[in-house]
């Protein structure tokens, strides 16, 4: 409607005052729960304070200096980046490939069965999934029993080693979430008119060419949406890691969100926790802006 109004010259309908009234409650809610905390964080980071008392000690840029020299932050960032890269690999790229395969006429008969199988983990609560994986990854659990079949008694404690703990959490996440993005891509691929693909097949394009030249360009928008949510999710991840390893052993599998939670609620260092929150905010803003730029060039 607005487009037609614009084309009709400079005549634009004045926004009726009632529109502001409808929007007002949501603006208030967002202001209080989203924008206010973000701004207040910048104030909080200048202080050290506890959740239990009202006294604030001014530390100026002390918390920020601490953040830049804290080795745990480096570990957390590294873990978040691993999360991001592996999630992109599974939840974006592999999911897209999987969706394409499932939508191929050859496999369409089994498609529903597979779709459901891949999607069921998404429906299970993360806590249950974590408990399940704690059993599987236990030194006497399923994974080691399986590996023992190939000779030798395997008793590795996957969750108890600094080198593997975070990867356990990451792969648990992929198992849990991949079905969701696969579903999204399936729905998007279904929107592609079959005539296009058939025509390509007749013209002699093989599967890979059909995938790269037809499917990929046409799911571009969904691709970017899934990319944005996966990447930002990877930098904000808390649940999966916290329930499975709590960031341990030591701090080897911690992520920014888990570390922030630890600082705030276990160690009672609210000022420093606010600083970590700001770091996460900055990272998300950078990612969002980068995303917007790519989207624009993508759409163009």
Partner 1 sequence: MKRIIALLLAFMMVLSLTTTITASAEEKIKLTFFHRWPNEPKGPYMDEVIRKFEEAYPNIDIVVIDPVLNDSYKEKIRVLIGSSDIPDVFMSWSGSFGANLVKSGRVLPLDDMIAANPEWSGKIIDSQWGPFQYDGKQYGIPWSMDGKVFYYNKTVFVELGLQEPDTWDEFITVLKTLQENGYPHPISAGFQAEWAVSHYLGAMVQRRVDPDVVTKDYALEGDFTDQGYVDTLNSFLELKEYMNEDPNSVDHSFARNLFIDGESVLCLMQLAEIKRVEDGADFEYSFFDMPALPGGLGDPDELEGAPEGMMISAECEHPEAAAEFVRFFISEENGALMTKMTGELSCVEGAVNPDSVSTPIQLDAVELIKKASGTTLWQDNAVDATVASAFMKGGQLLYTGDKTAEQVMEDVRAALELAKQK
Instruction: Find the binder of partner 1 among 92, 159, 170, 241 (CB under 8 A).
Output: 159
Task: Identify the CA nearest to 88 among candidates 163, 178, 172.
Answer: 178
Distance (Å) of CA 255 to CA 23, 234, 238, 243, 245: 36, 9, 7, 12, 11
> Is residue 107 close enough to count as binding partner 1 by CB under 8 A?
no
> Is residue 31 close enough to count as binding partner 1 by CB under 8 A?
no
> Is residue 176 close enough to count as binding partner 1 by CB under 8 A?
no
Residue nearer to partner 1 on the CB measure, 66 or 283: 66
Instruction: Find the binder of partner 1 among 132, 136, 161, 200 (CB under 8 A).
Output: 161
Distance (Å) of CA 125 to CA 130, 163, 198, 237: 9, 26, 41, 15
Residue reference for tokens 């991001």: 84
The distance of closest approach from Cβ of residue 265 to partner 1 in the complex, given in angstroms and rounded to an integer, is 5
57 φ/ψ angles, rounded to the nearest 5 degrees: -105, 125
Binding mask 229-268 for partner 1 (x = CB under 8 A): ----------------xx-xxxxx---------x--xxxx
> Is residue 127 close enough to count as binding partner 1 by CB under 8 A?
no
The distance of closest approach from Cβ of residue 118 to partner 1 in the complex, given in angstroms and rounded to an integer, is 28
Pair type for strands 47-49 and 56-58: antiparallel
Residues in contact with 75: Cβ distance below 8 Å, sequence separation at least 6, in sequence order: 251, 252, 254
Cross-strand partners of 215? none
Among the residue ranges 15-23, 175-183, 275-283, 285-293, the one whose residues contact partner 1 (CB under 8 A): 15-23
The distance of closest approach from Cβ of residue 266 to partner 1 in the complex, given in angstroms and rounded to an integer, is 6
CA dihedral 82, 84, 89, 92 (to 10 degrees): 170
> Is residue 58 close enough to count as binding partner 1 by CB under 8 A?
no
> Is residue 60 close enough to count as binding partner 1 by CB under 8 A?
no
Instruction: Find the binder of partner 1 among 160, 232, 233, 284 (CB under 8 A).
Output: 160
Residues in contact with 245: Cβ distance below 8 Å, sequence separation at least 6, in sequence order: 159, 165, 166, 168, 169, 253
Q: How far is CA 196 from the centre of its chain?
A: 33
Token pair, residue 201, equals 């097949």
Residue nearer to partner 1 on the CB measure, 25 or 300: 25
| Total of residues contacting partner 1 (CB under 8 A) | 37
Instruction: Find the binder of partner 1 among 48, 174, 177, 182 (CB under 8 A).
Output: 48
The distance of closest approach from Cβ of residue 193 to partner 1 in the complex, given in angstroms and rounded to an integer, is 41
Instruction: Find the binder of partner 1 among 84, 130, 137, 276 (CB under 8 A).
Output: 137
Helices 108-123 & 165-190 angle (0-180, nearest 10): 130
> Is residue 122 close enough to count as binding partner 1 by CB under 8 A?
no
Distance (Å) of CA 14 to CA 5, 6, 278: 11, 12, 39
The distance of closest approach from Cβ of residue 208 to partner 1 in the complex, given in angstroms and rounded to an integer, is 42
Chain residues that interact with partner 1, rule: CB under 8 A: 18, 21-22, 25, 48, 50-53, 57, 59, 62, 66, 137-139, 155-162, 245-246, 248-252, 262, 265-269
């Amino acid at each position: 409607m607005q487009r037609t109004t614009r084309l009709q010259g400079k005549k634009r309908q004045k926004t009726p005052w009632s529109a502001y009234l409808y929007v007002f409650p949501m603006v208030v809610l967002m202001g209080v729960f989203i924008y206010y905390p973000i701004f207040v964080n910048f104030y909080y980071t200048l202080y050290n304070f506890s959740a239990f008392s009202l006294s604030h000690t001014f530390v100026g840029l002390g918390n920020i200096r601490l953040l830049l020299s804290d080795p745990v932050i480096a570990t957390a960032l590294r873990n978040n980046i691993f999360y991001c890269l592996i999630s992109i690999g599974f939840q974006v790229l592999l999911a897209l490939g999987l969706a394409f395969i499932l939508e191929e006429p050859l496999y369409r008969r089994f498609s529903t069965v597979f779709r459901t199988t891949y999607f069921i983990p998404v429906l299970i609560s993360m806590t249950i999934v974590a408990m399940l994986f704690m059993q599987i990854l236990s030194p006497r659990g399923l994974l080691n029993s399986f590996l023992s079949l190939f000779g030798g008694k395997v008793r590795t404690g996957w969750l108890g080693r600094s080198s593997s703990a975070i990867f356990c959490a990451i792969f648990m996440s992929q198992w849990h979430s991949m079905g969701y993005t696969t579903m999204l891509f399936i729905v998007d691929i279904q929107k592609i008119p079959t005539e296009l693909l058939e025509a390509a097949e007749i013209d002699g394009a093989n599967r890979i060419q059909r995938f790269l030249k037809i499917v990929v360009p046409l799911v571009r928008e969904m691709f970017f949406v899934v990319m944005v949510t996966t990447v930002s999710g990877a930098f904000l991840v808390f649940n999966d890691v916290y329930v499975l390893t709590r960031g341990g052993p030591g701090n080897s599998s911690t992520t920014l969100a888990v570390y922030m939670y630890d600082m705030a609620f276990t160690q009672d260092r609210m000022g420093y926790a606010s600083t970590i929150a700001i770091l996460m905010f900055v990272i998300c803003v950078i990612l969002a802006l980068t995303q917007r730029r790519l989207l624009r060039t993508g759409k163009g």
